[in-house]
């Protein structure tokens, strides 16, 4: 159009210039990355009509490029496949991040980055179930070793009980917490809100510190067991509290205290309950026998 | 006009063309009969029953040999069958009977429990590998996982024999060694077959559940204690 008209006519030249500018950016956006050029465009403040047609094309492209946010119905296989979109080093980083709470590093923001996975929570819970059952069995065997009337049994019923306890902690507590946070979000506008999958992910990975702790509990020393429980509770409790602090920070102080204490108390209950049910205390049988024997000797000596 | 006439009779010019006599036009127009092999595969009614059964047994036996000497081959994957896993699962569950389960209520695994653990464990591992982007099909994965239980079943048989001689420390050490070796063999065999179908940066994520599965089965075998 500019070629057919007088090149010194300012209006056409400006229109063509604007179109060229907008088009130039459109071309560069489609080739380069998705998010950065959008931000630069919005920051530079282009003409609204230039932005109207580009974000539509940009949205399609960003959806295709990022591969997320496609609404797939939940009864298809592909819906669950997007929760397994991780690699080995991601899982390793997340496990280490859940064991070592670093001040300022929120687990969800730093490690999950909008990509919660179901692989970690599921397999960590399964490993923990079998670890508890096997370690409990070994510790029972070691405690009763040498006693003549002890018959070793593998105790497979306990696997079912351990599975129920751990899986309900890892799924129902996040459900309750998510529901509660959603309810508070309606009353108090929070800047940070977590999705259900992210909360499940945090809880699943926070259980990973208990796996080495459970293997430590095989040794029948009470002080060792209590030390390792306290250490594991501190680490995982700190990770959980630091993760949920930004979500409740703006709320009423009583609500903050209630949520944080609920998180910590449930964690404590799970750990102490598992220890008490699956790992029997070494019984103080010897002092009783000693006192009985000394009483018998005294009785015979006195007669 | 001439062009219109020609256009109305588009093939008019062809009547002038005569097929010259020196180009031999000969051949055999006949519909090829379907090969006799196809008929045999579809209807096994005509062959003796013994041959049908033996063919399946030979396939199962062939796969057992592949598990014994695991190399990266596709033999297990190409024609999968679930007879072998079923046979191995039943044998393992039967061998795990006769333990303290009969007398106690907190004893060893029942027959149904072994079945549930083996089959549900295999299904969950298969789902896991498919969700992580594996290219193996559902039944192929079940077939591989089931066939690789064979070393553990053999270890169970050996443990039962060792336990006949007594259940002291020596027998425990022997059983521990046998179960450890067979557990390692099972895991190595199944990863040799499954490794190629996984994306390269997720191999450890797929191998770990297999390791856990065979570890639990090995644990069940090791802790088997006979009723006295």
Tens digit of each residue's pLDDT (9 = 90 or more) over B7-64: 566 776 666 666 666 777 777 777 766 545 554 456 777 788 888 888 888 888 888 8
pLDDT of residue B152: 93
In a domain, B87, yes or no: yes
In a domain, B228, yes or no: no
The structure tokens 């919660």 sit at: A116
Strand partners, B99: B226
Q: Among all residues of chain A, which has the CA nearest to that of B108?
A: A154
Q: Say whether A154 and B205 touch across the interface (CB within 8 A).
A: no
Closest CA to A47 of A73, A90, A18, A84: A18
In a domain, B37, yes or no: no
B195-205 exposure pattern, b = at least 16 Cβ within 10 A, e = fewer: eebbeeebbeb
Q: Report the half-sphere exposure of A27 (CA within 13 A, side-chain side).
A: 5
pLDDT of residue A29: 44
Q: Nearest-5° angle of CA B212, CA A144, CA A130?
A: 15
Q: Say whether B106 and A157 touch across the interface (CB within 8 A).
A: yes
Residue A116 has pLDDT above 70, yes or no: yes
Q: Which residues in B have their CB inside 8 Å of a CB on A?
A: 100, 104-109, 113, 128, 130-133, 201-205, 208-209, 212, 215-216, 219-220, 223-225
Q: Say whether B106 and A155 touch across the interface (CB within 8 A).
A: yes
**Confidence at A63, pLDDT banded by 50, 70, 90:** very low
Q: Say whether A81 and B131 touch across the interface (CB within 8 A).
A: yes
In a domain, B192, yes or no: yes
Closest CA to B152 of B215, B110, B73: B215
**Confidence at A155, pLDDT banded by 50, 70, 90:** confident
pTM over 0.80: no
Mean pLDDT of B64-85: 77
User: Alpha-carbon distance A175 to A120, whole Å?
Assistant: 17
Residue A89 has pLDDT above 80, yes or no: yes
**Across chain B, where does the E strand assignment appear?**
none
Other beta carbons less than 10 A from residue A80's beta carbon: 15
- Which residue range forms the structural domain that includes residue B163? 49-64+75-99+108-223
In a domain, B18, yes or no: no
Mean pLDDT of B77-95: 87
Q: Say whether B205 and A91 touch across the interface (CB within 8 A).
A: yes
User: Alpha-carbon distance A185 to A192, whole Å?
Assistant: 9
Q: Among all residues of chain A, which has the CA nearest to that of B121?
A: A126
Of B10 and A20, the structure prediction assigns the larger pLDDT to B10
Mean pLDDT of A20-34: 46
Q: Among all residues of chain A, which has the CA nearest to that of B199?
A: A87
Q: How far B216 CA lies from chain A's nearest CA (Å)? A: 8
Report the SS3 class of residue A159.
Answer: helix
User: Which residue, among A67, A76, A77, A84, would best test binding to B if mutated, counting the most B CBs under 10 Å from its CB?
Assistant: A84
Q: Please write down the HEC assignment for all residues of A13-25.
A: HHHHHHHHHHHHH
Q: What is the pLDDT of residues B126-179, one digit of tens each?
A: 998 888 887 888 888 898 899 999 999 999 999 989 888 877 788 889 999 999
Report the SS3 class of residue A44.
Answer: helix
The DSSP-derived string for B5-54 is: HHHHSTTGGGGG----TTS-------PPPPPHHHHHHH-TTSS-HHHHHH
Q: Among all residues of chain A, which has the CA nearest to that of B224?
A: A154
Q: Which residue among B109, B130, B208 sits closest to A123, beta carbon to beta carbon?
A: B208
Q: How far is CA A150 from CA A120, A141, B98, B223, in A?
A: 39, 9, 19, 15
In a domain, B117, yes or no: yes
Average pLDDT, chain A: 74
User: Alpha-carbon distance A157 to B106, whole Å?
Assistant: 7
In a domain, B131, yes or no: yes
Q: Who's near A177: CB < 8 A, 6+ residues apart?
A: A199, A244, A259, A263
A237-266 exposure pattern, b = at least 16 Cβ within 10 A, e = fewer: bbbbbbbbebbbeebeeeebeebbeebbeb
Q: Which residue among B106, B205, B225 sits closest to A88, beta carbon to beta carbon?
A: B205
User: Alpha-carbon distance A199 to A108, whole Å?
Assistant: 8
The structure tokens 């080093």 sit at: A89
Q: How far B219 CA lies from chain A's nearest CA (Å)? A: 8
In a domain, B162, yes or no: yes
User: Which residue, among B112, B223, B224, B228, would best test binding to A if mutated, counting the most A CBs under 10 Å from its CB?
Assistant: B223
Total tally of structural domains belonging to chain B: 1
């Amino acid at each position: 159009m500019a070629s057919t008209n007088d090149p010194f006519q300012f209006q056409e030249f400006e229109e063509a210039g604007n179109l060229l500018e907008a088009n130039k950016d459109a071309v560069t956006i489609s080739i380069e990355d998705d998010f950065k050029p959008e931000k630069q465009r919005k920051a530079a403040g282009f003409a609204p009509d230039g932005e109207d047609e580009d974000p539509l094309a940009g949205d399609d492209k960003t959806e295709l490029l990022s591969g997320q946010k496609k609404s797939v119905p939940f009864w298809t296989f592909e819906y669950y496949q997007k929760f397994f979109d991780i690699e080995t080093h991601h899982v390793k980083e997340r496990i280490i991040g859940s064991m070592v709470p670093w001040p300022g590093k929120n687990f969800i923001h730093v490690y999950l980055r909008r990509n919660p996975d179901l692989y970690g929570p599921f397999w960590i819970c399964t490993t923990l179930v079998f670890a508890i059952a096997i370690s409990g069995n070994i510790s029972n065997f070691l405690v009763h070793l040498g006693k003549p009337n002890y018959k070793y049994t593998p105790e497979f019923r306990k696997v079912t009980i351990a599975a129920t306890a751990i899986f309900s902690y890892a799924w129902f507590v996040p459900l309750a917490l998510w529901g509660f946070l959603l309810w508070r979000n309606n009353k108090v506008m929070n800047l940070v809100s977590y999705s259900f999958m992210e909360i499940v992910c945090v809880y699943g990975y926070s259980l990973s510190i208990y796996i080495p702790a459970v293997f430590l509990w095989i040794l029948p020393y009470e002080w060792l067991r209590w030390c390792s429980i306290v250490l594991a509770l501190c680490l995982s409790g700190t990770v959980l509290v630091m993760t949920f602090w930004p979500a409740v920070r703006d709320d009423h102080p009583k609500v903050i205290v209630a949520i944080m204490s609920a998180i910590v108390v449930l964690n404590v209950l799970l750990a102490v309950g598992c220890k008490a049910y699956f790992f029997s205390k070494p019984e103080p049988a010897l002092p009783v026998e000693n006192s009985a024997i000394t009483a018998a000797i005294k009785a015979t000596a006195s007669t | 006009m001439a062009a219109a006439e020609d256009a109305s009779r588009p093939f008019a010019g062809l009547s002038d063309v005569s097929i010259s006599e020196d180009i031999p036009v000969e051949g055999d127009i006949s519909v090829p009969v379907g090969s006799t092999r196809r008929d045999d595969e579809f209807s096994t009614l005509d062959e003796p029953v013994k041959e049908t059964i033996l063919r399946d047994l030979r396939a199962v036996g062939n796969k057992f040999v592949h598990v014994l000497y695991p190399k990266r081959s596709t033999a297990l994957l190409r024609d999968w069958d679930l007879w072998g896993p079923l046979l191995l699962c039943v044998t393992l569950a039967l061998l795990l009977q006769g333990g303290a389960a009969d007398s106690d209520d907190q004893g060893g695994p029942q027959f149904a429990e072994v079945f549930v653990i083996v089959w549900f464990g295999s299904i969950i591992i298969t789902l896991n590998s498919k969700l992580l982007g594996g290219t193996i099909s559902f039944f192929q994965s079940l077939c591989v996982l089931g066939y690789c239980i064979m070393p553990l079943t053999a270890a169970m048989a050996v443990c039962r024999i060792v336990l006949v001689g007594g259940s002291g420390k020596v027998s425990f050490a022997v059983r521990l060694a046998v179960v450890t070796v067979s557990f390692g063999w099972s895991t190595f065999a199944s990863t040799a077959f499954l490794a190629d179908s996984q994306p390269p940066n997720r191999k450890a994520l797929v191998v770990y559940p297999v390791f856990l599965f065979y570890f639990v089965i090995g644990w069940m075998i090791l802790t088997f204690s006979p009723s006295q």
